Homo-oligomer: A and B are copies of this chain.
Amino acid sequence: MEKTKELLKKASIFSSLSDAELSEIVQNGRLKKIAKDSIIFRQGEEATGVYVVVKGRVKVYKLGVDGRQHILHIFGEGETFAEAAVFAGKTYPAFAEAVENSTVFYLYKDRFLYLIERKPSLALKMLGSQAKLLREFASKLEVISLREVSGRLAKYLLGQIEIASRKTKSGLEIRLPMNKTQLASYLGTVSETLSRTLKSLKEQGIIEEENHKIIIKKVEALKDLSG
């Protein structure tokens, strides 16, 4: 219980809650450990509650008829997911799967709605995080509507620079949050094409690759490609 509270307090959505309120939340949901690659919920299942990522990362995706995954978003620690399902629909509109061994907190729908009604700051936080997600979707739409894969990749990398890059002496370093097959799918292409596109960028000296990191050498060149 106390441990759970500690974990939840780290989640941005709950950060403004008092100790008593946190206790209330803990009592109305439960912690679930999810093994890597396990499915948390399936598209079409009844949406019975919302989730908060306490540890690890969770991938939310839709499944195409050909079996391909369209990754909508990868949620990290402290982020909430599936609220939209609880508000807008009766069923989850996508799949959720743990990318790595993860822990999530599951909060029952009714209880969640009740809390939001009573705690305006929670609602505001939530509106803020949904707005953020909306922006990300919009930016992903932008990425994907570029016709050339090199442009999409460039735009993606530029986006990653904002979110998660490290400056080193050799350049801006990005650790890809997914493997290349997944990234290809995210960019609306296939792994073969992504592989060739990366190769071409490397040959032009725009990027370098090392371990699972990409080092940006020429940010300007990426900007040119992305527009």
Report the bound CA distance from A130 to B70 in whole Å.
21
> For residue A176, which residues in chain B have a CB less than 8 angstroms away from its CB?
none
> Are B141 and A88 interface neighbours, CB within 8 A?
no
Take A66-B227, A116-B120, A120-B116 as given contacts and tell me if A87 and B141 are in contact as well, using a CB distance cutoff of 8 Å.
no
A64, A130, A144, A227 — most chain B CB neighbours (10 Å): A130
Q: Which of B83, B127, B132, B141 contacts A137 (CB 8 A)?
A: B141
Q: Which residues from chain A sit less than 8 Å from chain B, CB to CB?
A: 62, 64-66, 70, 72, 83-89, 93-94, 113, 116-118, 120-121, 123-124, 126-128, 130-135, 137-138, 140-142, 144-147, 188, 226-227
Chain B minimum-CB-distance residue to A64? B227
- Given A64-B227, A117-B121, A141-B144: 8 more A-B contacts, CB < 8 Å: A64-B145, A65-B227, A88-B132, A116-B127, A130-B131, A137-B138, A141-B141, A145-B188
Nearest CB of B to A19, in Å: 22
Nearest CB of B to A93, in Å: 6
Q: Which of B83, B123, B137 contacts A131 (CB 8 A)?
A: B83
Report the bound CA distance from A137 to B83 in whole Å.
15
> For residue A83, which residues in chain B have a CB less than 8 angstroms away from its CB?
127, 131
